[in-house]
């Protein structure tokens, strides 16, 4: 059995290794909006009662995602865990590199997992699925951590090909809300399941809220698995408020685009002479580097109290992913630019390294 994946947000591990207090650090290891939705505070009276049923939230979510049916779930991670148990055992093809929980959960549920390159074209994906005789394909779009995105017109070609082969298509769109709310009509089809995360775009990961839409039978099965009171009052109330606030959504998409362009540019200037590739996906920037250099950069940034994620891809290369800061926060802005300036003017401080045990 493959070991359980590690995740971003593990600032405690960075502090154990490099020292400092949480307030000393910029935690850029998660791709979450650094300016969370300004939700109305919950009261003790609201939390005194059991949570309501999610019908009102799902009604607003249908409008936000422009779909006829949607299932609210306690985080898209919950759906990633439950879905493989609802599907007969088979061979599942998953994006690599990609969100590692997909392969781990499908394997744990008794499926055989094979990987496809995250950079593969749709034609290559279809050919690999045929060659592997895959019963399901799981894609992460936009890709996390790679940052690549499959175009809508390519997805429109992939859907009927999967349907004709009787092949389930699961699309993890956890980072898509920064681009749009609506799910394309082509993905609202039998044999297709789309996962959305509330926490990324709205910056409220602790609320634990996600949504699933697509194949009717699988949506109903997930709804049945959800059981009573699975969604907290915080998820129901905050989700309803945030999904309804279209003016905030419009403003935030514009702001995130501006922040991403500026901060991605800063990372590119820092890594341009040694990165094989650098990509930005609004909420994060990812560089492909030689493996020892990627771990070295993670440690050098940690010495400046900036924590980023490192993904080994193969024996030669790894991905280094950095999230966004909120430029309106002067302390974050000063910390970020001072650290990058220090490393840019002292490149010898970035020593080649192997992964520490906690990150392997």
pLDDT of residue 209: 98
Of all residues in the chain, the percent with pLDDT exceeding 70 is 98
Q: Pairing between strand 284-290 and 317-323?
A: antiparallel
Cα–Cα distance measured from residue 173 to residue 70, given in angstroms and rounded to the nearest whole number: 14
Q: Report whether pLDDT(350) > 90.
A: no
Nearest alpha carbon to residue 151 among 160, 142, 159:
142
- Reported as a single tens digit per residue, the pLDDT across 209-231 is 999 999 999 999 999 999 999 99
Could you give the angle at which helices 55-65 and 233-244 cross, rounded to 10 degrees? 30
pLDDT of residue 360: 35
Task: List CB contacts of 127: < 8 A, sequence separation 6 or more.
Answer: none
Cα–Cα distance measured from residue 58 to residue 54, given in angstroms and rounded to the nearest whole number: 6
Q: If you average pLDDT over residues 155-165, what whole number do you get?
A: 97
Cα–Cα distance measured from residue 191 to residue 286, given in angstroms and rounded to the nearest whole number: 32
User: What is the SS3 assignment for 195?
Assistant: strand
pLDDT of residue 352: 76
Q: If you average pLDDT over residues 29-46, what whole number do you get?
A: 97
pLDDT of residue 317: 96
- The strand pairing partners of 116, in sequence order, are 95
Region for 305 from its dihedrals, namely left if φ exceeds 0, alpha if ψ lies in -120 to 50, beta otherwise:
left
Angle at 6 between CA 142 and CA 19, to 5 degrees: 115
Task: List CB contacts of 241: < 8 A, sequence separation 6 or more.
Answer: 37, 39, 40
The distance between the two most distant Cα atoms of the chain, rounded to a whole number of Å, is: 58
pLDDT of residue 358: 43
Check: CB of residue 346 under 8 Å from CB of residue 319. Answer: no
Nearest alpha carbon to residue 340 among 257, 255, 271, 291:
271
Q: Please state the pTM of the whole predicted model.
A: 0.95
- Reported as a single tens digit per residue, the pLDDT across 9-20 is 899 999 999 999
pLDDT of residue 131: 97
Region for 318 from its dihedrals, namely left if φ exceeds 0, alpha if ψ lies in -120 to 50, beta otherwise:
beta
Question: What would the two tokens of residue 308 be?
Answer: 């980023």
Q: If you average pLDDT over residues 122-140, what whole number do you get?
A: 97
């Amino acid at each position: 059995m493959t070991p359980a994946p590690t995740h971003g947000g593990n600032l405690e591990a960075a502090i154990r290794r490099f020292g400092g207090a949480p307030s000393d650090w910029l935690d850029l290891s998660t791709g979450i909006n650094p300016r969370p939705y300004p939700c109305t505070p919950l009261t003790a009276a609201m939390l005194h009662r059991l949570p309501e049923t999610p019908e009102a939230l799902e009604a607003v979510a249908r409008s936000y995602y422009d779909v006829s049916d949607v299932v609210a779930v306690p985080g898209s991670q919950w759906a990633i865990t439950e879905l493989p148990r609802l599907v007969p055992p088979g061979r599942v093809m998953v994006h690599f590199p990609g969100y590692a929980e997909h392969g781990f959960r499908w394997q744990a549920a008794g499926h055989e997992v094979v990987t496809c390159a995250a950079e593969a074209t749709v034609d290559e994906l279809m050919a690999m699925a045929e060659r592997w005789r895959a019963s399901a394909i799981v894609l992460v779009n936009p890709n996390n951590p790679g940052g690549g995105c499959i175009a809508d017109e390519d997805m429109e070609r992939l859907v009927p090909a999967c349907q004709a082969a009787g092949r389930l298509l699961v699309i993890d769109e956890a980072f898509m809300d920064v681009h749009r709310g609506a799910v394309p009509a082509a993905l609202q089809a039998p044999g297709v399941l789309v996962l959305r995360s509330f926490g990324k775009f709205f910056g409220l990961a602790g609320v634990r809220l996600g949504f699933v839409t697509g194949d009717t039978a699988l949506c109903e099965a997930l709804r049945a698995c959800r059981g009573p009171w699975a969604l907290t009052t915080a998820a129901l109330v905050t989700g309803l408020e945030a999904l309804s606030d279209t003016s905030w959504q419009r403003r935030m998409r514009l702001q995130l685009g501006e922040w991403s362009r500026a901060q991605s540019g800063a990372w590119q200037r820092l890594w341009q002479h040694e990165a094989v590739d650098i990509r930005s996906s609004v909420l994060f920037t990812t560089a492909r580097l030689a493996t020892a250099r990627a771990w070295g950069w993670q440690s050098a940034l940690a010495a400046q109290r900036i924590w980023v994620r490192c993904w080994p891809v193969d024996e030669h290369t790894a991905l280094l992913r950095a999230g966004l800061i909120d430029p309106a926060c002067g302390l974050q802005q000063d910390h970020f630019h001072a650290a990058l300036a220090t490393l840019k003017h002292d490149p010898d401080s970035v020593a080649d390294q192997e992964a520490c045990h906690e990150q392997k």
